[in-house]
């Protein structure tokens, strides 16, 4: 009976993993497709794709090493002797690599020389986001420096500063970016009192993926009878939960707060709907990174 339950739990975990990967991956398509259809990026804050590329590059490195690096997997086993195996899965890596490609594509749409799209003069990366972007790169460099200088054997002893801590730094960068990347878009929607130009289908798919990702993490940890597997994979834990919170916010904006405004806007040319962030110091004012 126990063996059958374990088999079912593993199968369910794998199924949920690939479903959430497909949902999250599919969430990347509505926005660039809509931009292409409108030949415009108006309504989308450039801060979102700017930091998204960096975030998913970090997440791809994190998942790749936890899956295939003997050093990182060995250090994880030493720190989590009860479970030994990280709760990172192949579907996590597949999602991360796909996200890097699609995020880069979306970011490229803000360059008229490449796509010829209409781009508002206010659609520039903000100074706070630029600071976070470069600050994250500095943080990774500092983590590498600490491991090389503070570790007695160059980062291979898991009882001291080790290379696994650098990988965790990559995951923390992703977590920070997940929080930061949604704020400019939520603020832009608030200032415009509209969500036109921001595809709600992306949010619905993202929400579904976040819920399923969290359930898979709980299943994997319960199967291993070690709930430290949840905290031992902070990227997956907080990535899903932070996404869920912001997705709920965007749903409220779209379906409740600005529903009537968006209905009126859809009767007009969406390219005529421009952001209201023209005041000095607002989030979409500064130059590209």
On whether residue 102 sits in a domain, the answer given is yes
On whether residue 285 sits in a domain, the answer given is no
For 130-166, what is each residue's pLDDT tens digit?
Answer: 899 999 999 999 999 999 998 888 888 888 889 999 9
On whether residue 241 sits in a domain, the answer given is yes
Please calculate the CA angle 8-11-16 and round it to the nearest 5 degrees: 120
Domain tally, the chain = 1
Q: Encoding tokens for residue 38? A: 């409108």
| The residue to which tokens 């050093």 are assigned | 71
Q: Which residues of the chain have pLDDT under 70?
A: 1-2, 5, 83-84, 122-123, 222-236, 261-289
- pLDDT value of position 263: 58
- pLDDT value of position 284: 36
On whether residue 65 sits in a domain, the answer given is yes
- pLDDT value of position 32: 92
Integer Cα distance of 178 and 271 in angstroms:
28
Does residue 81 come out as left (phi exceeding 0), alpha (psi in the -120 to 50 range) or beta?
alpha
Q: Which residues of 77-92 are buried (b: 16+ CB within 10 A; e: fewer)?
A: eeebeebeebbbbebb
On whether residue 278 sits in a domain, the answer given is no
Chain centroid to CA 39: how far?
A: 25
Give the global pTM: 0.74
For 164-211, what is each residue's pLDDT tens digit?
Answer: 999 999 988 988 888 888 888 888 888 888 888 788 888 999 899 888
Q: Encoding tokens for residue 206? A: 């993202």
Integer Cα distance of 214 and 234 in angstroms:
11
On whether residue 49 sits in a domain, the answer given is yes
On whether residue 280 sits in a domain, the answer given is no
Structural domain containing residue 185: 2-272
On whether residue 41 sits in a domain, the answer given is yes
Q: Tell me whether residue 274 is exposed, middle or buried, using C-beta atoms within 10 angstroms of its C-beta: 0 to 12, 13 to 18, 19 or more.
A: middle
- pLDDT value of position 227: 57
**Torsions phi, psi for 151 (to 5 deg):** -80, 135
Cβ within 8 Å of residue 204, ≥6 positions away: 27, 247, 251
Does residue 69 come out as left (phi exceeding 0), alpha (psi in the -120 to 50 range) or beta?
beta
Contact assessment for residue 271 and residue 118, using Cβ atoms and an 8 Å cutoff = yes
What is Dmax (Cα atoms) for the chain? Answer: 66
* Measured torsion, CA atoms of residues 233, 235, 236, 238, in degrees rounded to the nearest 10: 110
- pLDDT value of position 282: 39
Q: How many helices and strands, by DSSP H and E, does the chain display?
A: 12, 0
The closest alpha carbon to 89, from 199, 236, 265, belongs to 236
């Amino acid at each position: 009976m126990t063996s059958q339950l374990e088999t079912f739990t593993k199968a369910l975990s794998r199924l949920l993993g690939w479903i959430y990967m497909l949902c999250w991956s599919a969430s990347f398509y509505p926005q660039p497709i809509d931009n292409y259809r409108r030949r415009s990026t108006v309504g989308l804050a450039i801060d979102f794709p700017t930091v998204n590329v960096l975030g998913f590059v970090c997440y791809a490195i994190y998942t790749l090493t936890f899956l295939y690096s003997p050093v990182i997997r060995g250090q994880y086993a030493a720190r989590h002797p009860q479970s030994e195996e990280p709760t990172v899965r192949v579907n996590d890596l597949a999602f991360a690599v796909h996200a890097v490609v699609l995020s880069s594509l979306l970011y490229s749409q803000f360059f008229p020389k490449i796509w010829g799209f209409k781009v508002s003069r206010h659609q520039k990366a903000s100074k706070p986001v630029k600071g976070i972007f470069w600050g994250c790169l500095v943080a990774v460099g500092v983590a590498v420096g600490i491991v090389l200088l503070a570790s007695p054997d160059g980062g291979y002893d898991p009882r001291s500063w080790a290379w696994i801590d650098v990988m965790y730094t990559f995951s923390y960068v992703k977590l920070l970016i997940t929080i930061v990347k949604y704020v400019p878009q939520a603020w832009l929607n608030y200032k415009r009192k509209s969500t036109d130009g921001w595809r709600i289908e992306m949010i619905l798919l993202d929400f579904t993926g976040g819920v399923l990702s969290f359930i898979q993490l709980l299943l994997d940890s319960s199967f291993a009878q070690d709930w430290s597997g949840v905290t031992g994979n902070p990227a997956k834990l907080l990535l899903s939960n932070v996404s869920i919170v912001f997705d709920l916010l965007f749903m409220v904006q779209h379906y409740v707060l600005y529903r009537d405004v968006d209905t009126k806007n859809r009767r007009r040319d969406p390219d005529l709907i421009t952001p209201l962030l023209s005041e000095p110091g607002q989030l979409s004012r500064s130059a590209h990174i």
